[in-house]
Chains A and B, each alone.
Chain A
Amino acid sequence: MALTTTNDDLGYTPPSTKGLWSWITTIDHKRIGIMYAVSSLVFFIVGGLEALLIRTQLATANGTLVSADAYNQLFTMHGLTMVFAVVMPIAAAFQNYFIPLMIGARDVAFPRLNAFAYWLFLFSVLLLTSSFFLGGSPDGAWVGYAPLSTQIQEYVRMDYYSIGAQLLGFASLAGSINFVATIFTMRAPGMTLMRMPVFVWMSVVSSFLLIFSLPVIGVGLWQIFIDRNLGGLFYEAQAAGDPLLWQHLFWIFGHPEVYVLILPAFGIVSEILPVFSRKPLFGYSFVVFSGIAIGFLGFGVWAHHMFTAGMGPVAEAGFGLATMLIAIPTGVKIFNWIGTMWGGRLTFSTPMLFTVGFIAMFLIGGISGVTHAVVPANTQQHDSYYVVAHFHYVLFGGAVFGYVAGAYYWFPKWTGRMMNETIGKWNFWIMFIGFNLTFAPQHILGLDGMPRRTYRYADGMGWDVWNLMSTIGAFLIALSFLFFIYNLIASYRNGKVAGNDPWDGRTLEWTTTSPPPVYNFEEIPVVHHLDDFWYRKYGVDEEGRSVKLTPEQAGKPDVVIEEHGIHMPSPSFYPIVSAAGIAILGAALVFISSGPIGFGVLAVGAVVTLWGLVGWAAEPATREAH
């Protein structure tokens, strides 16, 4: 849906949006957002196929579909793919597209850094995925516990892990710094922090979580790399190294990471509920501050992933109690969401269905999370299918339902067209039933003693029926995503035209056209309220009910009077060059122990990186068009 008009009266000519080159050089946050979304969906298919292979293998006792070796690579890559290549980028997609629109900005603070972050993310995932064909994929689980991850240096598999995750971390770090800078410096006049949409708030929190946690895992991943390739002994117990150190470093990152995945989804449902309840979010400041509280507490609970690792009971008690504390701000959110619906006039369009599904499923995941904090019970649940069930209720029933809700909600803004409601409802119900069929039985499997990360199990353990149910459910989930993908494509082509504000929205993104122009807003809005757009459309009567304003009552919205037209940065080729250079450096490091070729590639990577960075530094932000 290209915007092709030239707005001469605005003093600005948008760059061409035609052809591959325009995508390669784009620094428009919206197009970058779309690229994140499309990448995420493609990798979701990859990760989903991995899941189906896993589930088919486990459908019956002693499954023989894939070998142990293949299975171990599949579940490792399933985890890495879903976390780093699906959920994080879909969050980044929504954040890229909507943070500037929701705070009344024309772009992000660092548009070229934004493009760089996307390309580095894409190349890192491609590097990681190419391992299937070049040397074998990581097979040490997504947690990469040492010394298993440093043990077999004959294969490059875990080198892909240490380098791939490292580069993905760089990309996320660049993206997060950009979001924080954007939100803190680019808000429209009047958009105080406490008038920001909750989605923007949750994005600030998740960005800070990444900024503080990624360096920790970064150190650990280099240690793994050094142990594997340079004879380091960080994790070698026989040389007085400490295997448990890796677990601490990993989970100081890994636990905040969980909130990185879920907080933006919290934000999305906090946007959707008020719109479809026709009421403001109940207890906005409670929801915001509970999100911040989750961010802080999220850094103090990492060792609850290590209750069986042999820490003393005092440390275990402390981390158990801290983990219970997290239930409080999380509970607050659920109550406030129900409070938002209470007394409203609810309509159940597809975004709302997924949102309500999110609340119900996240509730289950939250409660099973509290059971993990009960340390003795945790020693039975840890590394069993009970945990697999728990985090899928949180990350699929929670995060994925939330992001799908967001897709149905914001698709009209992306494309100018509505998604099909009938298909959307099929999508929801099949996914809801399939999801529960897949993961509810896994609670019982875990309690009945089935460990996770096992490529086969004996018969006679009583696990067969639950596993078969789970496998059938997995295929239902796959079916529901066929509905989703079909709906995306068909609606993009032939969907009902949406108009600017199809849901009677409350936030600024609905004030502009669908899709928005390159510069988002012809005139920068001035904000007077939380949910500013709503108050441009509605007043409140004596009973506190919304009353539609007449055009005369509404008047013309306040805008910033700009003296010299719209200034937008120009497209740039250097972000993709820099990202490619760094990815080539990464690929060289993976194969560095394999001889001179590695060093040759390293040199190529260094040259390309230097070319990108120097070109980037020398390039003016705005180039004169024509």
Chain B
Amino acid sequence: MQQTTPSLTIPPTSVAVLGNYVNTTAGNDDARRRLLLRIALIATVFFALFLASCSSDLPQSSLNPRSAEAESIDKLWDFILILGTVVFAIVAGALAYAIIRFRKRPGNEAEPKQVHGNTKLEIGWTLIPVVLLVIIAVPTLTTLFDLRSPAEGNFVRVDVIGHQWWWEFQYPDFVDENGRPLTTANEMHIPAGKTAELTMTSVDVIHSFWVPSLAGKRDVVPGRDTVMKITPDADIAGQMVPGQCAEYCGLAHADMRFRVFVDSETDFETWAAGQLEAAPIPASGDAAAGYETFTQFCTTCHQAKVVATDGTVEVIGAALGPDLTHFGGRTSIAAGLEENTAEHLAAWIDDPSSVKPMSPELNDIEAGRIMGMPAYGLDEQQIQELVALLETWK
């Protein structure tokens, strides 16, 4: 009878090559070398996967945490990743060992001992997981209650409103002379090193606000307020952190993205003050013609706070779509989908649904149901004028 002594140092990943291992005869160095090579290869792949699950420098990665909240989750994740990997290695190792050690070998016709069980052993392996789970449960609960505790001290409040398929941000602590809060869309600014408390709701279906590098996600539910905290690291001022909707919300769910700008405290104050200003109604040129078109079509759904040359300030339009007062100052259009360039904007105005799939045919303006921006069939000239207008509204 041939006896190949199984080596206990074989990692669990060797399951995949067992077929060859058992055919390996002692002294057949070639086969053994090939086997070890394969094991090394598989182990490398698994190790790469493990490393990829540890940390990352990707923009939207939960493994690239840049806030107090995301970091506390990431720490917890690293802990359970290591624990889970150890448990996997032990159990899969036992499985692999059983496969190698107890495999029927040629000539071995002896029946195995008929073991029906072992109560002590079984109670033991019922209790070990209990201990492991207690070890996981403690940091889980402390982190959970930490994250869910209300923001304290000096924090910034942001109201987040989910729409199919864009994001509205209002800052109730920043209001203009008429009590209108700072209102913007798809690009949220918050100060570095300071907690922002987000109070979120939706006007239509359920969305979910997710900026993996800054916080775990939180659903945005119609008829309810959900709250979350973000305390960006002080040293990431000036960074843009992307996020997107994580709860399937219909046609353009994949394109319901947004950008979070983490500003230094002074930049944030400057930005907020600027956002409360009105946009100038142009007196002449393309932009002025564009303003005519704007008031004819766009204000059906979009709002803007405008100031005439004589200094009269008024808010025009309906607040069904994104507020466009400072549209030109945003870096992206169509809910973070494309960079804000004249070219992209022109294509968008010409046929919005070709850029981002929407269902404007289902709009019911009176009922307040907006499911996309329609194409108004504007001519080239009108579009260029509108673009000229919007790009001046920084």
- Is the beta-carbon distance between B111 and A547 smaller than 8 angstroms? yes
The stretch that binds B, out of A113-121, A249-257, A337-345, is A337-345
A69-B357, A313-B145, A324-B133 known; A332-B116 Cβ under 8 A = no
A106 at the interface (CB under 8 A from B): no
- Is the beta-carbon distance between A374 and B136 smaller than 8 angstroms? yes
The stretch that binds B, out of A183-191, A448-456, A586-594, is A448-456
Chain B residue numbers with a CB within 8 Å of A545 are 110-114
A544 at the interface (CB under 8 A from B): yes
Chain A residue numbers with a CB within 8 Å of B8 are none
A134 at the interface (CB under 8 A from B): no
Please, how many angstroms separate the alpha-carbon atoms of A310 and B143 in the complex? 16
Chain B residue numbers with a CB within 8 Å of A308 are 208, 216-219, 246-247
- Is the beta-carbon distance between A377 and B226 smaller than 8 angstroms? no
Query: How far is the CB of B289 from the nearest CB of chain A, in Å?
Result: 34
B378 at the interface (CB under 8 A from A): no
Q: Which of B84, B125, B218 has the most CB of A within 10 A?
A: B125
A22 at the interface (CB under 8 A from B): no
A447 at the interface (CB under 8 A from B): yes
- Is the beta-carbon distance between A443 and B226 smaller than 8 angstroms? no
SS of B interface (majority):
mixed
- Is the beta-carbon distance between A72 and B251 smaller than 8 angstroms? yes
- Is the beta-carbon distance between B137 and A324 smaller than 8 angstroms? yes
A177 at the interface (CB under 8 A from B): no
Chain B residue numbers with a CB within 8 Å of A376 are 72-73, 76, 140, 143-144, 147, 216
- Is the beta-carbon distance between A342 and B102 smaller than 8 angstroms? yes
Please, how many angstroms separate the alpha-carbon atoms of A285 and B205 in the complex? 48
A280, A310, A346: the one contacting B221 at CB < 8 Å is A310
- Is the beta-carbon distance between A145 and B247 smaller than 8 angstroms? yes
- Is the beta-carbon distance between B219 and A309 smaller than 8 angstroms? yes
Chain B residue numbers with a CB within 8 Å of A416 are none
Nearest residue in B to A320 (C-beta to C-beta)?
Answer: B140
A335 at the interface (CB under 8 A from B): yes
A280, A310, A374: the one contacting B115 at CB < 8 Å is A280
- Is the beta-carbon distance between A460 and B219 smaller than 8 angstroms? no
- Is the beta-carbon distance between A237 and B224 smaller than 8 angstroms? yes
The stretch that binds B, out of A160-168, A217-225, A358-366, A404-412, is A358-366
| Chain A, range 562-583, C-beta contacts under 8 Å to B | none
A279-B114, A284-B117, A360-B92 known; A453-B103 Cβ under 8 A = no
Please, how many angstroms separate the alpha-carbon atoms of A154 and B52 in the complex? 45
Chain A residue numbers with a CB within 8 Å of B140 are 317, 320, 373-377
A244 at the interface (CB under 8 A from B): yes
Chain B residue numbers with a CB within 8 Å of A447 are 53, 56, 61-63, 77
Chain B residue numbers with a CB within 8 Å of A444 are 49, 52-53
- Is the beta-carbon distance between A367 and B95 smaller than 8 angstroms? no
- Is the beta-carbon distance between B137 and A321 smaller than 8 angstroms? yes
Q: Which of A285, A316, A321, A345 has the most CB of B within 10 A?
A: A345
Nearest residue in B to A541 (C-beta to C-beta)?
Answer: B111
B141 at the interface (CB under 8 A from A): yes
- Is the beta-carbon distance between B216 and A448 smaller than 8 angstroms? no
Query: How far is the CB of A67 from the nearest CB of chain B, in Å?
Result: 6
- Is the beta-carbon distance between B221 and A380 smaller than 8 angstroms? no
- Is the beta-carbon distance between A237 and B116 smaller than 8 angstroms? no
Query: How far is the CB of B135 from the nearest CB of chain A, in Å?
Result: 11
Query: Could you mark each residue 207-236 of chain B with 1 if its beta carbon is under 8 Å from any beta carbon of chain A, else 0?
Result: 010101101111101111010000000000
- Is the beta-carbon distance between A380 and B212 smaller than 8 angstroms? yes
Chain A residue numbers with a CB within 8 Å of B218 are 308, 310, 379
Chain B residue numbers with a CB within 8 Å of A451 are 210, 244-246, 254
Chain B residue numbers with a CB within 8 Å of A364 are 88
Q: Which of B16, B248, B250 has the most CB of A within 10 A?
A: B248
| Chain B, range 233-264, C-beta contacts under 8 Å to A | 242, 244-255, 257
Please, how many angstroms separate the alpha-carbon atoms of A327 and B133 in the complex? 9
Chain A residue numbers with a CB within 8 Å of B125 are 331-332, 335
- Is the beta-carbon distance between B144 and A320 smaller than 8 angstroms? yes
Chain A residue numbers with a CB within 8 Å of B99 are 341, 346, 348, 356
Chain A residue numbers with a CB within 8 Å of B73 are 376-377, 379-380
A154, A237, A448, A453: the one contacting B62 at CB < 8 Å is A448
Query: How far is the CB of A398 from the nearest CB of chain B, in Å?
Result: 15
Please, how many angstroms separate the alpha-carbon atoms of A451 and B62 in the complex? 12
- Is the beta-carbon distance between B126 and A332 smaller than 8 angstroms? yes
A284, A370, A384: the one contacting B136 at CB < 8 Å is A370
Query: How far is the CB of B259 from the nearest CB of chain A, in Å?
Result: 12
Nearest residue in B to A283 (C-beta to C-beta)?
Answer: B117
Chain B residue numbers with a CB within 8 Å of A321 are 137
Chain B residue numbers with a CB within 8 Å of A460 are 59
Chain B residue numbers with a CB within 8 Å of A282 are 115-118
Nearest residue in A to B91 (C-beta to C-beta)?
Answer: A363
A328-B133, A332-B125 known; A449-B112 Cβ under 8 A = no
A614 at the interface (CB under 8 A from B): no
A432 at the interface (CB under 8 A from B): yes
Nearest residue in A to B130 (C-beta to C-beta)?
Answer: A328
User: Told that A328-B133, A346-B99, A371-B84 touch, could you supply 15 new A-B pairs with CB distance under 8 A?
Assistant: A141-B248, A148-B206, A240-B223, A243-B205, A308-B218, A308-B247, A338-B91, A338-B98, A373-B140, A377-B80, A448-B63, A449-B60, A449-B212, A461-B59, A545-B113
22 A-B residue pairs with Cβ-Cβ distance under 8 Å, sorted by A, are A72-B251, A141-B248, A241-B223, A277-B102, A278-B111, A308-B216, A316-B144, A342-B102, A345-B108, A346-B104, A347-B103, A360-B92, A374-B77, A376-B73, A376-B216, A380-B73, A380-B217, A447-B62, A454-B244, A461-B242, A544-B113, A545-B111
